[in-house]
Amino acid sequence: MDNNKLVEVQNLRQYFPVSGGTLFKKKIVKAVDDVSFYINKGETFGLVGESGCGKTTTGRSILRLHEPTSGKIIYDGVDITRVNMLPYRRRMQIVFQDPYASLDPRMTVGDIVGEAIDIHKLAANKSERRERIVELLSLVGLNTEHANRYPHEFSGGQRQRVGIARALAVNPEFIVCDEPISALDVSIQAQVVNMFEELQEKMGLTYLFISHNLSVVKHISNRIGVMYLGKLVELADSEELTLRSVHPYTRSLISAILVADPMAARNTQRIFLEGDVPSPLNPPSGCRFRTRCPYATELCAVEEPEFKEVSPRHFAACHHLDKVK
């Protein structure tokens, strides 16, 4: 086991039964299907892809908010796939996508942040608890008097800061950031991303940063994994992926990133994909991306491409990497 790895996901599968089907054959959605990657201590691993590709399910399965159908989750050298998670809840936390839905409207901000302190008995008395709450709020840019207010009295950006303070309350090592800025105004997004980076530096945090916005992920991540319909299709260091991507799906995502320089923007060719994302209830045979891929052949319909190393630390799953321009 590499001592630098904090989280390792091995052949993770997360299948959900859905209503319908027959008595003998239940319908299932293969939300995450045989996904493997690792996250080093202190790094940010970005996970990108369209809505419904399995990013959030992957993050929640790592924390065992969904019990994995199969595969292994190894945390700091220990297989935690079937253990009691309470000791690990302190070490692993999540910041949810929607700051409106993830905070209890009947609790004050002080109690929301203090709840985890109470559960894990992290304060000896009331004054120590109060001190810790104030310290956490100031860490995320909120004031002491905010502790007595309710979530509806805050803006979206402030609510997300409360969500981040709640995640930090137990002094975690690893945080799943599940689309943490997608519900916020664009003007606030950069502030929150910068705050994540500052907190990482200050507290030595490790992140799994989930987003459909590749330009944000590119900015914050050390390495990036690209998902499509429950599968990892490409994985590489952030710079390598954005400059030398080899998978046609990743190429399409990168071509959609807005470029500030008008001259450079004129020279970038936007790659449009044909058709819609297939239903995860009935994914295409072979390569799942083949129905929208300009390079697809009969081989793609019958054989699933192997996820393999195409250059050092750069992995991809495609039968026709030699053809991709």
Instruction: Say whether both 82 and 200 belong to one domain.
Output: yes
Instruction: Say whether both 71 and 211 belong to one domain.
Output: yes
214-218: which pairs have CB atoms within 8 A and are 24 or more residues apart? 214/48, 214/242, 214/253, 214/254, 214/256, 214/257, 215/257, 215/258, 216/181, 216/189, 217/46, 217/47, 217/48, 218/46, 218/242, 218/257
Instruction: Say whether both 80 and 207 belong to one domain.
Output: yes
Instruction: Say whether both 201 and 77 belong to one domain.
Output: yes
CATH of the domain at 182: 3.40.50.300
Confidence of residue 270 (pLDDT cuts 50, 70, 90): low
Distances (CA, A) of 115 to 76, 138, 149, 155: 26, 17, 15, 22
C-alpha–C-alpha distance, residues 62 and 5, integer Å = 14
pLDDT value, residue 21: 61
Write the pLDDT tens digit of every residue in 5-29.
Answer: 999 999 999 999 887 666 667 788 9
pLDDT value, residue 99: 82
Confidence of residue 1 (pLDDT cuts 50, 70, 90): very low
Quote the number of domains for the chain.
2
Which amino acid, 68?
P
Any domain includes 56: yes
Give 109's contacts (C-beta < 8 A, 6+ positions apart). 137, 142, 146, 147, 148, 149, 150, 151, 154, 162
Write the pLDDT tens digit of every residue in 208-259.
Answer: 999 999 989 999 999 999 999 999 999 999 999 999 999 999 999 998 776 6
Write the pLDDT tens digit of every residue in 134-165.
Answer: 999 999 999 999 999 999 999 999 999 999 99
pLDDT value, residue 266: 58
Any domain includes 325: no
164: phi then psi, degrees, rounded to nearest 5: -70, -40
Any domain includes 299: yes
Domain of 85 in residue numbering reads as 5-91+172-316
Any domain includes 298: yes
Instruction: Say whether both 179 and 306 belong to one domain.
Output: yes
For the ranges 156-170, 184-198, 262-276, which has the lowest average pLDDT? 262-276
Instruction: Say whether both 136 and 80 belong to one domain.
Output: no
Q: Select from 142, 171, 200 the last residue of a domain.
A: 171
Q: Select from 171, 198, 217 the last residue of a domain.
A: 171
Any domain includes 322: no
Any domain includes 323: no
Q: Select from 109, 141, 171 the last residue of a domain.
A: 171
> Mean per-residue pLDDT for 27-51?
94
